[in-house]
Amino acid sequence: MSDAITDTLPWARRPVHRTWLLNEAERLFTFFGPRTINPAGGFRECDAKGAVKVDPSAACGVHMSARMVHCAVIGDLMGRPGLEDMIDHGMQTIWNRHRDPDAGGYHWAIRDDGPADTTKQGYGHAFVLLAASSASLVGHPLAFSMLADVTEILNTRFWEDGHGAIAEEFRTDWSPIGPYRGQNSNMHLTEALMAAYEATGERDYLHKAERIAELIIRCHAQACGYRLPEHFTEDWQLDEAYSGHEMFRPSGTTPGHSLEWARLILQLWALTGKDRDWMTEAARALFFQAMSLGWDREHGGFYYTLDWENRPSRTAKLWWPLCEGAGAAAFLNAHFPSDFHEQSYRRIWNRIAASFIDRENGGWHEQLSEDLKPEYTLFTGKADIYHALQACLIPLYPSEGSLTKMIIEANRL
């Protein structure tokens, strides 16, 4: 297929494409709807065939409940009925099941009968901040208490002002777990900090988001030719040899995170006055490198990871990098329209439609092999609405802030 665009109207502005995206969002809301509520707390996963998995021993991470709250708020703001109970259930789970009333903070995972993992993870606390910020927009009664609580924990336990980023993880009693520092938790905290700023107007949230971006993108990613480094030592020196959890901390570089940052850095640029030229340069470069190095030119889709020689390392194709690529391409084409950005947007959605949407069983396949066949090594079924839902909805709203903010502004028109 040629990279030249001979027509003029971007897909994101075409009525049929916009209707298609809304229909996909509705399918996701239906698939991950109230049927996934676990009365004991949190939400249940679905298996590959779309059936809800009932397993009292299964662990539910705080990030999963928080993401469900965020996505249910998005639907509620759009005017979709039936999501209020999901928001409340998720918020009650986070506050009453994950929160540590003695030592403070939020446990990483729970089971039906109690905690499954009592560590305090920066990644999880980032999503608690996102859930509280989003829930405040619909007036949930726990939102502002949770927002104040998790903000204090982030500021007093996680934030390292000398570096401008958060530490990674602690035991229940707040004793540190190793020297590891990671970009992934800080990337999602950047997303949450911007949401908290939009919800409250408190500029410290925005200031911290900018400091994280300065460290990870302006300092480290730029030095690596805008290949996004993932893993660092305690003093934030790049650790190229690191290899940890296959889902959250795989070795090498992860093109999907470059795509995610490309959108987030443009969102930060918009919120900070559109006068940080380094942010727009970084967004374009991160996206270009991810498409150039990470896209499988034979089969399509993004390789999960690359090594430091830019060779595919983990060749599985996951759904979330494509989702983040769609959102990034939409943002870039809104602010810097080009044939490359538009063609990339179309290529990504064509691959999602052809290979990842499971029209027989519902939901999206979360993992495919290199040659695009379903497999289940990292993900055993379908657990997460967050990436796919935002991919469907981000292109439908102005690229000037978070999805929740843009929905609210559209409602005022």
In this predicted model, what pLDDT tens digit does every residue of 163-218 receive, in sequence order?
999 999 999 999 999 999 999 999 999 999 999 999 999 999 999 999 999 999 99
pLDDT at 1 over 50: no
* CA atoms in the 13 A half-sphere facing the CB of 172: 11
Rg of the chain over all Cα atoms, to the nearest angstrom? 20
pTM for this model (two decimals)? 0.97
Q: In the annotation, is 163 catalytic?
A: no
| Confidence at residue 3, expressed as pLDDT on a 0 to 100 scale | 55
Helix axes 62-78, 403-411, angle to 10 degrees: 20
Q: What is the mean pLDDT of residues 381-399?
A: 97
pLDDT at 127 over 70: yes
What is the assigned CATH class of domain 17-411?
mainly alpha
| Confidence at residue 283, expressed as pLDDT on a 0 to 100 scale | 98
pLDDT at 2 over 50: no
The rounded mean pLDDT for the chain is: 96
| Confidence at residue 4, expressed as pLDDT on a 0 to 100 scale | 62
According to DSSP, the residues that pair with 60 across neighbouring strands are 110
Pairing of strands 165-166, 231-232: unpaired
The pair of three-digit structure tokens given for residue 43, joined into one six-digit string: 């939400």
Backbone phi and psi for residue 165, each to the nearest 5 degrees, phi listed first: -165, 175
| Confidence at residue 138, expressed as pLDDT on a 0 to 100 scale | 98
Q: How many CB atoms lie within 10 A of CB 207?
A: 13
The pair of three-digit structure tokens given for residue 291, joined into one six-digit string: 């498409």
Q: Which of 64, 5, 3 lies closest to 37, judged by CA?
A: 64
Q: Which stretches does DSSP call E strand in 145-276?
A: 159-160, 165-166, 169-170, 181-182, 231-232
| CB distance 166 to 157 below 8 Å | no
Backbone phi and psi for residue 402, each to the nearest 5 degrees, phi listed first: -70, 160
Q: Which helix (H) or strand (E) holds 15?
A: helix 15-31
Cα–Cα distance, 225 to 220 (Å, whole number): 9
User: Tokens 């971007």 appear where?
Assistant: 10
Read off the pLDDT of residues 31-48 as tens digits, 9 standing for 90 and up.
Answer: 999 999 999 999 999 999
Share of the chain above pLDDT 70, in %: 99
Q: Which one of the listed residues 89, 98, 231, 257 is annotated catalytic?
A: 257
Read off the pLDDT of residues 56-109 as tens digits, 9 standing for 90 and up.
Answer: 999 999 999 999 999 999 999 999 999 999 999 999 999 999 999 999 999 999
User: Tokens 């900018």 appear where?
Assistant: 210
Read off the pLDDT of residues 147-164 as tens digits, 9 standing for 90 and up.
Answer: 999 999 999 999 999 999
| Confidence at residue 228, expressed as pLDDT on a 0 to 100 scale | 97
| Confidence at residue 215, expressed as pLDDT on a 0 to 100 scale | 98
| CB distance 87 to 75 below 8 Å | no
Quote the DSSP letter at residue 81. T
Q: Which one of the listed residues 70, 220, 365, 387 is annotated catalytic?
A: 387
Q: In the annotation, is 257 catalytic?
A: yes
State whether residue 5 is helix, strand or coil: coil
Q: How many CB atoms lie within 10 A of CB 305?
A: 21
Q: Which of 408, 403, 387 lies closest to 63, judged by CA?
A: 387
| Confidence at residue 6, expressed as pLDDT on a 0 to 100 scale | 58
Cα–Cα distance, 271 to 281 (Å, whole number): 16
Q: Would you kindly state where each structural domain of the chain is located, as residue ranges?
A: 17-411
Q: Could you tell me which residues come within 8 angstroms of residue 209 by beta carbon, excluding any fewer than 6 positions away?
A: 189, 190, 193, 194, 197, 268
| Confidence at residue 248, expressed as pLDDT on a 0 to 100 scale | 82
Q: Could you tell me which residues come within 8 angstroms of residue 140 by beta carbon, excluding any fewer than 6 positions away?
A: 87, 88, 91
Alpha-helix residue ranges (DSSP H) falling in 295-318: none
CA angle 249, 289, 349 (to 5 degrees): 85
Pairing of strands 60-61, 169-170: unpaired
Pairing of strands 169-170, 181-182: unpaired
Cα–Cα distance, 68 to 352 (Å, whole number): 22
Read off the pLDDT of residues 268-313 as tens digits, 9 standing for 90 and up.
Answer: 999 999 999 999 999 999 999 999 999 999 999 999 999 999 999 9
